[in-house]
Structure 1
Amino acid sequence: MTEPRYAQTPADLPDLAQTLQMSGLEFMQKVLAGDLPAPPISNTLSFGLHEVAEGRAVFRGQAEFAHCNPMGGVHGGWYGTILDSAMACACMTTVPKGHWYTTLEYKVNIVRPLPVGLMVECIGEVQHSGRATAVSRGEIRGLGDGKLYATGSTTCIIMKG
């Protein structure tokens, strides 16, 4: 895995025509290799793509104090964003050339509070990928303690370009 190159402006992101020239797996492999920029949200929320394979995407990251709610706990949006990224990118790896996807809905179940600064791994795995939709599940686990912190599920729509 190379150090990610983050998009700084909308012009840095690949356009849809460029994306449609490759399969979803090829696209994700290019992001992992640094040939395509990582989305700016992953820089803002301190996580990034760590591994990708067909039907699977793994992100690693750590919530920081800047990601806390008014009570000092990690904001639920942080859990949701890393889960959405892993689960949806897992779906992306199954999208054929000439197609693209977007998240239709996702659900998050927070199991326990995530300590600020704990490095976590978020794994998304596809359960179904068809012509029009893909479904995946995900989980966030602490790298240091192995504990389960959250689970999730998503449905993505697959569209022809």
Structure 2
Amino acid sequence: MCYTQTPQDLPDLAQTLQMSGLEFMQKVLAGELPAPPISQTLTFGLHAVSEGRAVFRGQAGFAHCNPMGGVHGGWYGTILDSAMACACMTTVPKGHWYTTLEYKVNITRPLPLGLEVECIGEVQHTGRTTSVSRGEIRGLSDGKLYATGSTTCIILKG
């Protein structure tokens, strides 16, 4: 999970370009590089990472609700974007970086507040300039599917 940080604590692009995307993600997981600040705000964090795969865990709370009392779609979208895009990052070669080009979210059922979920992103294809992945959010205790997503990330040379 993320700890209190300042902008100076975040790695700069030059530092990122010195390692492959997988090495970068492994350093985040090991706590050698900081997690993104949004993970603290939205109460989720990187749980596991391997080539073409990133797993986040977290739980939505009252602060993440919409005016009707349900978990805001932005919470689903952000954890899915994080898992799917970080899965893409694991395939990016040294000297390159990525950013999300577009993503789509399908919410299949309302997420109960406080339920710990696992969000898995898995790469389907990585080429020279783009990477495509899919993801899903499932409850850890109930195994139910709460949302799915897909993304295309653009790969940029340093």
Alignment TM class, shorter chain as reference: over 0.9
Structural mapping, 1:1-161, within 5 Å? 4-6=1-3, 8-161=5-158
In the alignment, is the contact (CA less than 8 A) between 1:132 and 1:159 conserved in 2? yes
**C-alpha contact (below 8 Å) 1:5/1:34 kept by paired residues:** no
Q: How many Å apart are 1:6 and its aligned residue?
A: 3.2
Deviation at 1:108, TM superposition (A): 0.1
Q: SS of 1:77's equivalent?
A: helix
Shift of 1:5: 4.7
- Aligned Cα RMSD in Å? 0.8
Q: How many residues align?
A: 158
Contact preservation (8 Å) 2:130, 2:154: yes
Question: Alpha carbons of 1:5 and 1:151: their partners in 2 closer, same or farther (altered >3 Å)?
Answer: closer
Give the TM-score normalised by structure 1. 0.97
The code of the aligned residue for 2:70 comes to G
- SS of the equivalent of 1:34 reads coil
Deviation at 1:7? 5.8
Deviation at residue 8 of structure 1 after TM alignment: 1.6
Partners of 1:6 and 1:54 in 2: CA distance: 25
Write the deviation string for residues 19-41 of structure 1: whole angstroms up to 9, x where unpaired: 00000000000000000000110
**In 1, Cα distance between the equivalents of 2:145 and 2:124?**
20
What TM-score, normalized by structure 2, do the two folds share?
Answer: 0.98
CA distance in 2, matches of 1:80, 1:92: 18
Moved over 3 A (4+): 4-7
Residue type of the partner of 2:79? I
Give identity over the alignment, percent: 89
Distance 1:5 1:149, change over 3 A: closer
